[in-house]
Amino acid sequence: MPTFSCLHFDELSAAQLYEILALRQEVFVVEQNCPYQDCDNRDLDAWHLMGRNENGKLVCYTRLLPEGVSYSGYTSIGRVVSSPSARGTGAGRQLMKESIKKCVQLFGNQPIKIGAQTYLLRFYESFGFRSTGEEYLEDGIPHTKMILPDPAAQFL
Integer Cα distance of 11 and 35 in angstroms: 28
User: Average pLDDT for residues 4-33, to the nearest whole number?
Assistant: 93
pLDDT value at residue 61: 97
Nearest by Cα to 124 from 110, 135, 138, 113: 113
Give tens-digit pLDDT for 102-146: 999 999 999 999 999 999 999 999 999 999 988 999 888 899 999
Beta partners for residue 76, in sequence order: 65, 113
What is the domain-level CATH number for residue 57? 3.40.630.30
Domain ranges, residue 108: 3-155
Of the chain, the percentage scoring pLDDT greater than 90 comes to: 80
Per the structure, the count of domains in the chain is 1
- Residue 28: the pLDDT is 83
